[in-house]
Amino acid sequence: MRREKSRYDRPMTGKDSPNRVWLALSFAAGLLCVYLAAHLVTPPSPTHPLTGRRIAGIATNTSWLDRAEREGEEQPDRALDLIGIESGSSVADIGAGSGYMTLRIAGRVGPAGKVYANDLQPAMLQAVQDKVRKAGLANVVLVQGTEQDARLPDGAIDLALMVDVYHELWHPQAMLQSIRRSLKPGGRLVLVEYRKEDPRIPIADAHRMSVADARREVEAEGFAFDRAIEGLPRQHIIVFSRAGP
């Protein structure tokens, strides 16, 4: 059977010279490199100007945030007991993620209290909203912040809480300043962070904080160190208060 000729069967002309083919391949390879640079290569994470610690990336996996092992590793209810959540108080759950702590806090502040569930990611806030609706809660307010501003109401918060979050802030100085503005006089900022001082804890260094580093960074933005509570299996509870007027 005689095969019909295709356009690939014709004799090579000047337009199809090896040089032109090579140039076309080189151009295609260049476009691929540009695409990979734009879509696959991420910039290196920054370091904090005061302590030099490497700032971690933001958690985006709800299955990790809601993992069953977290109950034993972090003892969230024990953590809230140690922090002290008062009925009727106004609490900001900053970096609320999937709402793992939000619902627990909402139950403690009660109907007279309020929880501001803050996060950067719309998908996380939607996950919180779904849980809040399922639980029938009316005291949770969703707030989408930015990398530099929690967007909380000024002077309205009794307690700003960050659980496994502070080490992920890419603009920690600006965020701390925005949180300070949101606190009432005498309001507290509480960080719950995996202990960097203990090398046995199976968490990457960038996802842990030492008390010394936390103090140096947070006190510089208008907070006074109160105490560090060491009653959890793997984490510090580091308590600050708003300093000054």
86: in domain: yes
Let me know whether 115 and 224 are in one domain. Answer: yes
Let me know whether 132 and 22 are in one domain. Answer: no
**What total of structural domains would you count in the chain?**
2
Is 31 exposed, middle or buried (CB count within 10 Å of its CB: 0-12, 13-18, 19+)?
exposed
- Angle, helix 102-109 to helix 76-83, in steps of 10 degrees: 40
Let me know whether 21 and 84 are in one domain. Answer: no
Let me know whether 161 and 211 are in one domain. Answer: yes
pLDDT tens-digit series, residues 186-227 = 999 999 999 999 999 999 999 999 999 999 999 999 999 999
Check: pTM over 0.85? Answer yes or no. no
Let me know whether 79 and 189 are in one domain. Answer: yes
Residues whose CB is less than 8 angstroms from the CB of residue 176 and which lie 6 or more positions away in sequence, other chains included = 189, 217, 218, 221, 222, 223
53: in domain: no
Let me know whether 91 and 193 are in one domain. Answer: yes
pLDDT tens-digit series, residues 15-70 = 445 566 556 555 555 555 444 444 444 456 789 999 999 998 777 777 878 889 99
Q: What is the pLDDT of residue 66?
A: 84
| CATH classification of the domain holding 236 | 3.40.50.150
17: in domain: yes
173: in domain: yes
47: in domain: no
Which helix (H) or strand (E) covers residue 162, if one does?
A: strand 157-163
Residue 14: domain span: 8-41
Let me know whether 224 and 159 are in one domain. Answer: yes
